[in-house]
Chain A
Amino acid sequence: MNWMIAGPEIFYFAASLWFLLLTFTAQPKPAQNGGRRREYLTAIFLASLGILVCLASVHAQGWLFTRGFSVDFFSQVFKTLLSLGLFLIVCICGQINDIEDRRHNEFYFLLFTCTLALMLLVSADHLLSIYVSLELSSYSLYILVALRKKRGQGLEAGIKYFLIGSFASAVMLFGMALLYSSAGTAYLPEMAKVLPGMMASPAVVTGLLFTLGGFFFKLAVFPFHFWAPDTYQGASNQVAAYIATASKVAGIAIILRVVASAGQGSTYLVHVLVILSVVSMTLGNLAAMVQKDMKRLLAFSTVAHSGYVLIGILVLDAAGYSATIFYALALLAMKFTAFMVVVELTPDGRNLQIEELAGLHRRSPLMALALLVALFSLAGIPPTIGFTGKFLIFTAAIQKGYVALVIIAMVNVVISLYYYLLVIKAAYLLEPAEALPPLVVSFPKKLLAGLSIAVIVVAGFFPWWLIQIAQAAAQPLMLGR
C-alpha cells in the first residue's frame, strides 16, 4: 500500500490536529488581536500549503483501505478544488467578529476536518466509506453553523440543519441497505457491473433514489433544500460561504460518482432526475425573487443551480459529466466572489440586506464590479465562466435530445436575471439614505477581488484548458462502467 496517494487527506488530518492542539493550549483572551491574527495567518499558511499538497498529488492513482478509497484523476481534481475553496474561505476569515474569539481555533479546526471529510468523500468508493465521510463533514458543519455568537440565530440554524441532515442520512442509509441487499456488494465498481441489469427491480431504483437523497441534501436539491435559506441566514457569513462553495463542490462529485457507477441504463432514474431538476431550478428562482436578505437570495439561487447541475448529471455520458465538473469549478468561483463581497461589506458579521448595498459603486467600485461580475456569471451571461459552464451542460443535454429541458432551463435563466438585476440595481443605482463613508478595502482583499473577477471573465472567455482538465477528470467515471 502506498500511503502517499492519500497525501492531501494526511495533510488535512495533520492540520486539523494542529488546530485541535491549539484549542487546548493557546486560549487567546478576548480583545487580544494578536492572538486572533496568529490563528488567521496559521490557517492561511496551512490552507495554501494544502493547495500545494493537492497539486503535487494530482496525478496519483491507486486504492487504499481494501479498495474502499480510490484515488484517480477525478478525485484529485475535486480535492484540488476543495483545497482551493478552503483557502479562499480562510482568506475572508480575517474578521470573524460574530464568532467568539476563544472559539476561533475550534472554528479553523472544524473547517479543516470538514475539508478532510469532503476529500474522503470524493474518493469514497464503498457505500460505508461514503456514509462515514458524509457524516463527518455534516457534523463539522452542524457545529460550525451553531458557533455564531448571536445564540438564537446560530443555534436555530444549526438545529434545523442537523434535523434535516439526519433525516436525509436516515433516508440514505435505508437506500444503501436496499442497494446492498439487491446487488450483494457495497463497492461502487462492483455495483456498476451488476446494477444496470437490475434496473427493472423496484428495490434497486428506490434504493438508488434514497441513496441519492443524502447527496441531494448536500447539494440542496428539491425536496431536500429546506435547510438552505435558514441555515445560510443563521450561519455566520464565512460559514455560509463555505457551505455554498466547498460543500457543494463535494456534493456534486459524489453524485457524479454514484450515478456514473450505478445509474447507467435506468430510464426511471433519469425521469426522476429531470423532474427534480426542473422543480429545483424553478422553485429556487421563484423563491429568490422575493428575498430581502442577500444570503437567503444566494441560498435560493444555490437551489436553482443544483437544478442546472442535475441536467449535466442526468445525461449520463462523458460530455455531461465533464460539463458538470466544469460547472462545479464555475460555481466555486462565482459563489465565492459573491460571498466575498457580502463579507467585505459586513465587518461586524451581521446579515446583509440587499438595500444595504446602496451606493456600493461609490463606496468601493472594485467590490461593486466584483458583485456585478459574479451575479452576471451566476445568471449565465457571457463572457463569464458561469455561461461557459451552462453552455457545456446544455450542449451535452441537447446532444442527448433533452431540448425541452434546456428550454425550461433557459426560461429559468431569464427569471433569475430579474433578481440578480435587483441586487445590481441596489449596488449601482440606489443611494443610501445617509451618506456612507467609502469602504476601506485592504490591499490583499483588493488583489483577491481583482483575481476573482479575472478568473470569472478570463476562464469564461478562454475555457479550453479547463475543459480539457474536466474531460480528463470525467474519464475515470467512464472506465469499465
Chain B
Amino acid sequence: MQMEPASFPFLSAILLSCVVGMMAIILIPEERQLLIKQVSGVFSGISLLLSLYVFFAFNRSLGGVQFVEHLNWIPSLGISYFNGVDGFSVPNILLTGIVFFTGVLTMWELKTRVKEYFALYFLLVAGVYGLFMSMDLFFIFVWYDVSLFPMYLLIAVWGTTRKEYGAMKLTLYLLAGSALILPAIIFLWAKSGLNTFSFVLLMHPGLFTPSVQKFAFLLLFLGFGILAGVWPLHTWSPDGHVAAPHGVSMVHAGVLMKIGAFGVLRVAIMLCPLGWIYWAKLMAVLAVIGIIYGALVGLRQTDLKYVIGYSSVSHMGVVGLGLSTVTVEGLNGAVFQMFAHGIMTALLFSSVGYIYDRTHTKMIPELGGLSRVVPVASAFFIVAALAGIGLPGLANFWGELVVFLAAFKVYPLFGVIAVVTLVVSALFMLRVVQKAFYGPANPRYAGLQDVTLWLGTPRIILAAVLLILGLYPSLLFNVIRTASVPFMNGLPR
C-alpha cells in the first residue's frame, strides 16, 4: 500500500484539539458556563477545520494512505502510534468533525453540569477520531474503548427516557463487542508471525491461512457488528439513542455506529478478505433482516426518538448490505451511506432536540401542527426525514442507490426485498412528518419560539451538507474510490 508521510501532523493535531480542549474545559470553573461552551465551540471548530483540510487536501489521484505519522510505541510487541488516512477513513474523519462541532452547538442551551458534560464529550470524540485515523490495530482497539469510557456517564447523567437502563445496556453491549475484538486482534498478531500490529504490514495477501481468516473475521464482524447495530445485536442502539442527551445521540447514531461499520471494513474485511468472502452470505442475510426489522418496528413507535433509533438500524442494514456484496460498488455505496446517514441522523436528533427542549415531549400524538408554529425548526426535521427516505437531491439517495444496484447484481432477491421495505417505511416516515408537523395545531404550543439563527446554525450546516452531497455526490465518491478500487483489485479470487 502506498504511503505518503505528512508534512505537518494534521491528524495528531485533530486529536490534540480534542485533548487540549478537554483539558481547557476541566480547568475552567464550573460557574462560567458560557465560557466553557465558547471554549468547546472553538476547539471543536478547530478540529472541524482541520478535518476539512484533510478532506480537501487528500490527494485523490494518488490514493493510498496519506498524512502518515509513525512513532514506535511498544517495540517489543510491534505496536506503533501509526496514523494515516485512506479513501475509507477520510469521509469518516470529516463526518466526525461536522457532527462534533454541530453537536457542541446543539447543546448550547445545556444548564446542568456543563463542565463535566463537555469534558466527557470531548473525550468521546477523541476516541472516535483516533479510531478513524489509526493504522495500528492496538490503537484501533484503544480508541474504540476510549470512546466507550465516557458513554455511561454521558447517557446516565444527562439523558432522558429510562436513561440508567439505556446507559447500562449500551455500555455492556459495546464492551461485549470489544471482548470479541481484542482476542481476534491478538490472534491475528500471533498468527502473522511478524510481531507487528501495524495494519499496513498485516494487510499482506496470503499472510493468514483461510481458516485463520474465517475464524478471525467472524469474531471481528460480530464484535464491531454490535456497534454497527447489526441485527440481532442491535438492541442497545434504540434504547441508547433514546436515552442519550441530544448531542450525544447525534455522535452516537451519527458517528459511533459508523465506527462499527468502519471497523468491520477496516479490520475484518481488509485483513481477512477470504473470511469476508466466506461469510458474505451471512452478512447479507443479517443486513436484510436488519433493514426489514428496523423499518417494521419503527412503524409501531410513538416516540419520535425511537422512530429515529429504529430507522438507524434499518439504514445501517443498508451499509451492511453494501459491505456484503464483495464489489467495488458495494463498498463505495456503503461508505457513502455511512457518511450520509451520519449527517442525516445527526440532523434528525438535533431537530428533535430543539423541539423536545421546548415542548418537553417526544411523543408523536402529543405534537401536531408544529410547522405552523415553528416552521423553521420543523423544516430541518422534514429535510432530514426526506433524506432518510432517499429523496433524490439529498445525500442518502446516492448511498442507497449505489448499494441497491450492487445488491441487485449479487443478491437479486435480497435487493428487491430491501427496496420494497424501504419504500414502505418511507411512507410511514411521511406519516410521522404529517402527524407531528402538519394537521391541526396543538394549542399548547402556540407560544413556541422558532429557532433563532444562532441556535439554527448546527442544523443549517448539517442540512447544507446533505444538499451539497445530494447534488454533487462525486465529491465523496472520488475519495472513496481511491481505496475501494485498489483493494478489490488486490483481492485473492
- Measured CB to CB, the residues of A under 8 A from B are 361, 376, 381-383, 387, 391-392, 394-395, 398-399, 403, 406-407, 410-411, 413-414, 417-418, 421, 424-425, 428-429, 463-464, 467-468, 471
- Residues A417 and B182 in contact in the complex (CB < 8 Å), given A395-B77, A395-B189, A424-B152: no
Tell me the B95-120 residues at the A interface (CB within 8 Å). 116
- Determine whether the beta carbon of A464 is less than 8 Å from that of B73: yes
> What does the 1/0 interface line of B178-202 toward A look like (CB < 8 Å)?
1110110011011000000000000
Q: Which of B77, B149, B157, B189 lies in contact with A376, CB distance below 8 A?
A: B149
On chain B, the residues within 8 Å of A399 by CB distance are: 190
Bound together, the chains give a CA A463 to CA B77 distance in angstroms of 12
CB distance from A404 to the nearest CB of B (A): 9
Task: Tell whether B168 is near chain A: CB-to-CB under 8 Å.
Answer: yes
Task: Tell whether B145 is near chain A: CB-to-CB under 8 Å.
Answer: yes
On chain A, the residues within 8 Å of B146 by CB distance are: 382-383
Q: Which of B148, B149, B164, B180 lies in contact with A410, CB distance below 8 A?
A: B180
On chain A, the residues within 8 Å of B156 by CB distance are: 425, 428-429
Pick 14 A–B contacts, CB within 8 A, sort by A: A381-B148, A382-B142, A395-B77, A398-B187, A406-B183, A410-B179, A410-B182, A413-B175, A417-B172, A418-B168, A425-B152, A429-B156, A429-B164, A467-B74
Bound together, the chains give a CA A406 to CA B142 distance in angstroms of 17
Task: Tell whether B76 is near chain A: CB-to-CB under 8 Å.
Answer: yes
Q: Which of B73, B145, B153 lies in contact with A382, CB distance below 8 A?
A: B145
CB closest chain-B residue, reference A416: B175
- Residues A403 and B175 in contact in the complex (CB < 8 Å), given A418-B168, A429-B156: no
Task: Tell whether B441 is near chain A: CB-to-CB under 8 Å.
Answer: no
On chain B, the residues within 8 Å of A387 by CB distance are: 142, 145
- Determine whether the beta carbon of A394 is less than 8 Å from that of B179: no
- Residues A414 and B153 in contact in the complex (CB < 8 Å), given A395-B186, A429-B164: no
- Determine whether the beta carbon of B77 is less than 8 Å from that of A417: no
- Determine whether the beta carbon of B176 is less than 8 Å from that of A381: no
On chain B, the residues within 8 Å of A406 by CB distance are: 182-183, 186
On chain B, the residues within 8 Å of A414 by CB distance are: 172, 175-176, 179
- Residues A417 and B186 in contact in the complex (CB < 8 Å), given A381-B148, A425-B164: no
- Determine whether the beta carbon of B179 is less than 8 Å from that of A424: no
Q: Which of B75, B138, B168, B186 lies in contact with A421, CB distance below 8 A?
A: B168
CB distance from A323 to the nearest CB of B (A): 10
- Chain B interface mostly: helix
- Determine whether the beta carbon of A424 is less than 8 Å from that of B148: no
On chain A, the residues within 8 Å of B152 by CB distance are: 421, 424-425
- Determine whether the beta carbon of B145 is less than 8 Å from that of A424: no
CB distance from B163 to the nearest CB of A (A): 9
CB closest chain-A residue, reference B188: A398
- Determine whether the beta carbon of A407 is less than 8 Å from that of B189: no
On chain A, the residues within 8 Å of B73 by CB distance are: 464
- Chain A interface mostly: helix
Bound together, the chains give a CA A292 to CA B235 distance in angstroms of 29
Known: A382-B146, A410-B179, A424-B152. 13 other contacts (CB 8 A): A382-B141, A383-B146, A387-B145, A394-B183, A398-B186, A398-B187, A399-B190, A403-B183, A406-B182, A424-B153, A425-B156, A463-B74, A464-B74
Bound together, the chains give a CA A418 to CA B179 distance in angstroms of 14
On chain A, the residues within 8 Å of B176 by CB distance are: 411, 414
- Determine whether the beta carbon of A471 is less than 8 Å from that of B76: yes
- Determine whether the beta carbon of A394 is less than 8 Å from that of B172: no
Bound together, the chains give a CA A376 to CA B183 distance in angstroms of 19
Tell me the B121-145 residues at the A interface (CB within 8 Å). 138, 141-142, 145
- Determine whether the beta carbon of B183 is less than 8 Å from that of A407: yes
Tell me the B145-177 residues at the A interface (CB within 8 Å). 145-146, 148-149, 152-153, 156-157, 164, 168, 171-172, 175-176
- Determine whether the beta carbon of B145 is less than 8 Å from that of A464: no
Bound together, the chains give a CA A407 to CA B177 distance in angstroms of 11
Q: Which of A361, A383, A411 lies in contact with B142, CB distance below 8 A?
A: A383
- Determine whether the beta carbon of A417 is less than 8 Å from that of B142: no
The 7 A-B pairs of least Cβ separation, nearest first, read A410-B179, A382-B142, A398-B186, A406-B183, A382-B145, A399-B190, A414-B175
On chain A, the residues within 8 Å of B157 by CB distance are: 428-429
> What does the 1/0 interface line of B386-412 toward A look like (CB < 8 Å)?
000000000000000000000000000
On chain A, the residues within 8 Å of B141 by CB distance are: 382
Bound together, the chains give a CA A476 to CA B427 distance in angstroms of 72
CB closest chain-A residue, reference B189: A395
- Determine whether the beta carbon of B179 is less than 8 Å from that of A411: yes
- Determine whether the beta carbon of A394 is less than 8 Å from that of B182: yes
On chain A, the residues within 8 Å of B142 by CB distance are: 382-383, 387
- Residues A417 and B183 in contact in the complex (CB < 8 Å), given A383-B142, A429-B157, A467-B74: no
CB distance from B57 to the nearest CB of A (A): 29
> What does the 1/0 interface line of B353-377 toward A look like (CB < 8 Å)?
0000000000000000000000000
Bound together, the chains give a CA A402 to CA B190 distance in angstroms of 11
Bound together, the chains give a CA A464 to CA B71 distance in angstroms of 12
On chain A, the residues within 8 Å of B172 by CB distance are: 414, 417-418
On chain B, the residues within 8 Å of A464 by CB distance are: 73-75
CB distance from B281 to the nearest CB of A (A): 25
Bound together, the chains give a CA A382 to CA B146 distance in angstroms of 6
- Determine whether the beta carbon of B183 is less than 8 Å from that of A381: no
The listed residue with most A CB atoms (<10 A of its CB), out of B148, B149, B156, is B149
Bound together, the chains give a CA A467 to CA B149 distance in angstroms of 24
CB closest chain-A residue, reference B138: A391
CB closest chain-A residue, reference B177: A414
CB distance from B35 to the nearest CB of A (A): 18
CB distance from A271 to the nearest CB of B (A): 20
Q: Which of A391, A417, A467 lies in contact with B175, CB distance below 8 A?
A: A417
Bound together, the chains give a CA A454 to CA B178 distance in angstroms of 25
- Determine whether the beta carbon of A394 is less than 8 Å from that of B74: no
- Determine whether the beta carbon of A421 is less than 8 Å from that of B182: no
CB closest chain-A residue, reference B223: A410
Bound together, the chains give a CA A418 to CA B165 distance in angstroms of 12
Bound together, the chains give a CA A381 to CA B171 distance in angstroms of 12
On chain B, the residues within 8 Å of A407 by CB distance are: 179-180, 183
Bound together, the chains give a CA A392 to CA B168 distance in angstroms of 28
CB distance from B195 to the nearest CB of A (A): 10
